[in-house]
Amino acid sequence: MYFAADDGFNKNHRMYVVENPSSDPMEGTWEFKGKVYDPSDKWAIDGSVFEYSGKLYMIWSGWEGDVDGQQNIYIALMKNPWTLDGERVRISAPEYDWEKIGDLNRKEAPHVNVNEGPVTLINKKKLFLVYSASGCWTDFYCLGMLTFTGKDNPLDPASWKKSPDPVFKPKPESGIYAPGHNSFFMSPDGKENWILYHANSAPGQGCGRFRSPRAQKFIWKKDGSPDFGEPLSTDIPLAIPSERK
């Protein structure tokens, strides 16, 4: 289980990992394995891992240097689930206007461009990376997507193609603001694909206590890419994920 932590100062945020050998995570003993970092050891949050072509990789959001102002998406190969193998590689940085909404009333960082919360999605060997864009403190937090166009080397930045528009965005007319920071899961019977994310129900609610987790089904397009549709109003009742029979 991966998490980010600091000592009370944001500039010291780094990623860490704990491990439990039990097949049931509610049982057994969790062991602190230490910090997960590459040689640069820069600010890092939102780590997740994925396996592709028999190799294990970690992706996360980080700073290029030691000063806040922009968060990028980085990737690195892993020796094992708690150790990175080699230098980090930047595969995404905020470039479109919808990734750069991030004014803050902070002297040390008056504005921050954001790519964060990366998580992968694999469909029949097609690899996608979905991430959150713009500041979570804004009403415009949304999801962007990278598509891996290479053969077997996710460490090649040129092999990732960014979608020019958000793939999941706010819908104020339905009372949905700042939908983002997602993950994916399948129904118990393995037939339905679901996206899990958080969002606000009114403007100006920011990154704090007003956010709530939401989930809904998504489908695949004919080209194999995901179609997340639009975030659904909390007034719409949903059927629970389909159960095993």
Indicate if the pLDDT at residue 219 is higher than 90. Answer: yes
Among 8, 3, 88, which Cα is nearest to 40's? 88
CATH number at residue 139: 2.115.10.20
Give mean pLDDT, residues 171-183: 97
Residue 241 in any domain: the answer is no
What is the reported pLDDT for 107? 87
Query: Which tens digits make up the pLDDT trace of 76-113?
Result: 999 999 999 999 999 999 999 999 999 998 888 999 99
Percentage of residues in the chain having pLDDT higher than 90: 96
Among 74, 141, 146, 90, which Cα is nearest to 112's? 141
The SS3 of residue 28 is: coil
Token pair for residue 48? 């997740």
Indicate if the pLDDT at residue 69 is higher than 90. Answer: yes
Among 119, 170, 163, which Cα is nearest to 144's? 163
The SS3 of residue 190 is: coil
Among 134, 136, 105, 118, which Cα is nearest to 208's? 136
Query: Which tens digits make up the pLDDT trace of 183-215?
Result: 999 999 999 999 999 999 999 999 999 999 999
Residue 41 in any domain: the answer is no
What is the reported pLDDT for 236? 93
Q: Please list the residues that pair with 128 across neighbouring strands.
A: 121, 147
What is the reported pLDDT for 106? 87
Residue 68 in any domain: the answer is yes
Query: Which tens digits make up the pLDDT trace of 13-65?
Result: 999 999 999 999 999 999 999 999 999 999 999 999 999 999 999 999 999 99
Residue 78 in any domain: the answer is yes
What is the reported pLDDT for 200? 98
What amino acid occupies position 213? P
Token pair for residue 153? 């080397």
Token pair for residue 132? 């959150």
Q: How far apart are CA 225 and CA 103, in angstroms?
A: 32
Indicate if the pLDDT at residue 222 is higher than 90. Answer: yes
Residue 14 in any domain: the answer is no
CA 129 to chain centre: 8
Can you state the percent helix, strand and coil of the chain, rounding each to 5?
Answer: 5, 45, 50
Q: How far apart are CA 199 and CA 170, in angstroms?
A: 9
Sign of CA dihedral 172, 210, 6, 28: negative
| pTM, two decimal places | 0.96
What is the reported pLDDT for 235? 94
Residue 19 in any domain: the answer is no
What is the reported pLDDT for 245? 78
The SS3 of residue 58 is: strand
What is the reported pLDDT for 188? 96
Range(s) of the domain holding residue 195: 53-227
Contact between 75 and 91 (Cβ < 8 Å)? yes
Percentage of residues in the chain having pLDDT higher than 70: 100
Residue 212 in any domain: the answer is yes
Residue 98 in any domain: the answer is yes
Number of independent structural domains in the chain? 1
Position 66 confidence tier, pLDDT thresholds 50, 70, 90:
very high
Q: How far apart are CA 159 and CA 128, in angstroms?
A: 11
The SS3 of residue 107 is: coil
Query: Which tens digits make up the pLDDT trace of 148-161?
Result: 999 899 999 999 99
